Amino acid sequence: MRRIGVVVNPIAGMGGRVGLKGTDGKVEEARRRGAEPRAPARAREALDAIAETDTEIELLACGGPMGAGVAREAGFDSDVVATPADPERTTGEDTHRAVRAFIDAGVDAVLFVGGDGTAVDVATAIDEAGVETPMLGVPAGVKVYSSVFGVTPRAAGHVVATFTDTERAEVNDIDEDAFRGGEVVTELRAVATVPVADQRQSAKQRGGGSVDALASAVAEETEPGVTYVLGPGSTVGAIKSRLGFDGTALGVDVWCDGEVVVADASEQEILDALGEENVIVVSPIGGQGFVFGRGNQQLSPAVIRQSRLQVVASSRKLDDIGRLRVDTGDTELDESLAGWLRVRVGRYEQRLVEVVG
């Protein structure tokens, strides 16, 4: 029997679709903008995947919105070993307390649901306990820069229930205020024990290579009357520059007929700006290969379904990545996006790259 401790950060990722690029210190603002929790649904996907394995599981959980509730919905009779001080306003200390309780109970692994900040909390609690209990994250945050997460919630659930070997991996976090201002300031916060698995994501790297010809071609080929939804990153940023404006480096901008319709748009602002014909232009995250689901949650399933997709990248970036990934939070949409995709790598050149969930 495998004993797994589950802790959920219920506010993780709330800032993504409303354009806040993170939730640290911005929970109330996210709620004012109409943000809805996404972590519970991500947790449910992971727990469903655990239930589908042949592994005999004993589940320990943090109480209420931090794990026990969604575990019960997934059909697990979990043992609640810790509870948040205030279920309406959970904190990192609640996560610390839960992980310490899991360790005291002798769990074989800690499965957490959140982003990099939650990963830091979990890794710190394990380190302070002086043990090497494996940890694995269900990606639910806006930013996921660490290599301690499954590539999708279902992958995380499957891996934590079936892994046999472990290795060490980096836990990184970024300054969210700097991130909102368009700058990535990454800091190594811990090194943790994690399962060995192909379905665990790598640490995020910043891709390089010239994209001048690519950016010029995409800008020159924009069509009248078409609304372009331009994602974050340096490659798409070069396209924004060719279109004549200083784009939001780590946000989504909407452009049509020579004008910026919305800068640094939220999901709802994008939906409001869409026209009869729309094109999403995105570049995969260097080192990980995610087209959707990492740092661009504003590009929600509702936005994607109303748009054509154009993926752009340098050849060097594609060589490093190998294949692309999607994690929109909508399983049916992810499956429809899977397969072989033409990625534009130059003025004329394209490459076929496989998209996986």
Residues 230-257 have pLDDT tens digits of 999 889 999 999 999 999 988 999 999 9
CA distance 133 to 60: 14
pLDDT, position 189: 86
Cβ of 236: how many Cβ atoms within 10 Å?
A: 27
pLDDT, position 141: 77
pTM for the full model? 0.64
**With 80 as the cut, is the pLDDT of residue 27 above it?**
no
Cβ of 140: how many Cβ atoms within 10 Å?
A: 32
pLDDT band at residue 18 under the 50/70/90 scheme: very low
pLDDT, position 25: 54
CA distance 318 to 287: 9
pLDDT, position 208: 34
Partners of 230 in beta bridges: 253, 281
pLDDT, position 172: 82
Partners of 136 in beta bridges: 111
**What stretch of H or E contains 320?**
helix 315-321
What would the mean pLDDT of 304-330 be, rounded to a whole number? 90
Structure tokens at 200: 């665990």
Q: What's the sign of the alpha-carbon dihedral 132, 137, 141, 143? A: positive
Backbone angles phi, psi at 254, to 5 degrees: -115, 130
Percentage of the chain exceeding pLDDT 70? 86
> CA of 325: how far to CAs of 48, 156, 206, in Å?
21, 15, 17
Q: Hey, is 41 helix, strand or coil?
A: helix
Amino acid at 82: A
**With 70 as the cut, is the pLDDT of residue 177 above it?**
no
pLDDT, position 7: 98
Tell me whether strands 227-230 and 278-282 are parallel, antiparallel or unpaired. Answer: parallel
Structure tokens at 243: 């279109």
Residue with tokens 């010239």: 210
